[in-house]
Amino acid sequence: MKPSDGTGEVAGGCDQAAAPAAPVLPGCHPDPSVCRVGDDHYLITSTFEYFPGIPVFHSRDLVHWRPIGHVLDRPAQVDLGGVASSEGIFAATIRHHDGLFWVITTLVGGTGRNGTFVVTATDPAGPWSDPVWLDDAPGIDPSLFFDDDGRAWCTGTRLAEPGEWDGQTDVWLREFDPVAVALTGPEHLLWRGALHGAVWAEGPHLYKVDGRYYLLAAEGGTEHRHAVSVARADHVTGPWTGNPANPVFTHRHLGRDFPVVGVGHADLVHTAAGEWWAVLLGSRPYGGYHPNLGRETFLVPVTWEDGWPLFAPGVGTTLGPFAPPAVAGPPAEPYREPARDDFDGPALRPSWNQVRTGPPFWSLTARPGHLRLPLGAASLADTATPCFLGRRQQHQRVSVSALFDVAPRSPGEWAGLAVRQSEADHLVLAVAGDGRGGRRVLAAVREHGVQRVVAEAPLPAGGPVVLRIHAEGQRLGLRYAPVDGPEPGETELTAVDGGFLSSPRAGGFLGVWFGPYATAHGAASAGVADVDWFDYRPLTP
């Protein structure tokens, strides 16, 4: 990975030439879907309970991706209320047809309207339309395919009922009417996975290549045994024939010590230069089988042999090395974001996410130059909207710090930094009340729903405090300094092994988010926490 280069900026992507195992979108960017318009490529990933939802990235060269907006950036579009961790916005598909961008996805769970919906935009940076819900599209992982004969089709995945085995799914197809934005005609069953006993044949995408139809699907579940399989047909409704070489791409046989595991859920793109590439998800465990960064987006070349796509030809893994995609024009610059956020702008940077939708809770104007968080009643353990703003962890070695000004009045009032995997699994380093009118700093681990304060120390009664989570791989050093300054004399309160925050330990589908957090743990509080700055700084080797 490309570390911070001392300019105070953080590369948002990875330098593939420098680190062939690197994803093109590090951090939790699963279920990538891509489309091309001329020389421009657009990519989206799934976001579950986080809002804004479904980031949109642009790239000319498929390697360097720049965030340009979000598909779901208005709470009026989707209600993520009550969505549990790893529910919410599942795999989405982006396509471009006749001057319009289309995204189709499924909202799983929650107390609001859920199911499959379609949104459109003329500019992929937005604004995106309000959803049109497809009540007759069962299951998850919907995709759209615009045929060259003017017809359009929708595929999706649902559990086979009755299934012959647990986790058996049906990939279904129905015609899609883009004018009515509705499914029409009968349902066709296309695919149940390549292997006998295949589980979770999902993430289906259709393509037409040289007059033949291709169906790409994931199978094996989105964890260690993930895989890509492919089928083809002369007619979109079938019959479909699987590639005898299926699964055509997987790392499932390479062991848990392989640098990248669980690859699958691919989408193909045909570039202006005539090359084929696939984006797909994979994870990089570190410090044990702990991929805290979640499922990331990788890129591999694709060629065609005997009428079938060949993934990472001659290599067979995401590790490469691969010749980069052929593109016209000068090489693309990596996207860089300043390491420090001073909260001086009129709006939050787009890399900040809240958990679920709900009334706005934070302010950039109450105290200019600060992010103000109320000590809200909701905590990270609740399926409400906690006063937490987070950004994805994108580096295995990173120092995350922030300057807090807070005067908690009771032991249950906490404000500090959190590392969030889910309601049940997160880590908090906070300034809290000490019950005697003073303050303390504490480290709290919530693992499988059980919270423990693992360390605490007294703090001066007033004044700002720097809190820092210094991640050296899975060693998370929890540090504090009750003064401001470039290098305040920090004390390490404790260190925690972060492995419990990874999805193999915690469950679910996600990587972790770091960010400021304030709570009164169910109590009503008028207290606020002001965050002067937040710093996300990858550590140089």
- Positions in the binding site for ligand 6LW (CB under 6 A): 30-31, 46, 90-91, 140-141, 200, 202-203, 218, 221-222, 265, 509
Look at residues 153, 225, 168 and name the one whose alpha carbon lies nearest to residue 200. Answer: 168
The one catalytic residue among 49, 170, 202, 413: 202
Q: Is 202 a catalytic residue?
A: yes
Nearest residue (CB) to ligand 6LW, 90 versus 404:
90
Cα dihedral value 415, 416, 420, 426, nearest 10: -80
Nearest residue (CB) to ligand 6LW, 204 versus 408:
204
Angle at 497 between CA 86 and CA 474, to 5 degrees: 80
C-alpha to C-alpha distance for 392 and 513, rounded to whole angstroms: 4
Q: How near is the Cβ of 288 to ligand 6LW at its closest, in Å?
A: 22
Q: What contacts 296, CB < 8 A, 6 or more positions away?
A: 23, 25, 26, 27, 28, 29, 30, 281, 282, 283, 284, 511
C-beta neighbour count of 527 within 10 angstroms: 19
Residue 381 falls in which region: left (phi positive, over 0), alpha (psi -120 to 50) or beta: alpha
C-alpha to C-alpha distance for 166 and 492, rounded to whole angstroms: 47
Residue with tokens 């695919």: 191
C-alpha to C-alpha distance for 171 and 188, rounded to whole angstroms: 9
Nearest residue (CB) to ligand 6LW, 200 versus 214:
200
Q: How near is the Cβ of 33 to ligand 6LW at its closest, in Å?
A: 11
Look at residues 187, 182, 215, 186 and name the one whose alpha carbon lies nearest to residue 201. Answer: 215
Nearest residue (CB) to ligand 6LW, 87 versus 535:
87
Q: How near is the Cβ of 395 to ligand 6LW at its closest, in Å?
A: 22
523-526 long-range contacts, CB within 8 A, separation 24+: 523/377, 523/410, 523/412, 523/413, 524/377, 525/374, 525/375, 525/376, 525/377, 525/409, 525/410, 525/413
Active site residues: 31, 202
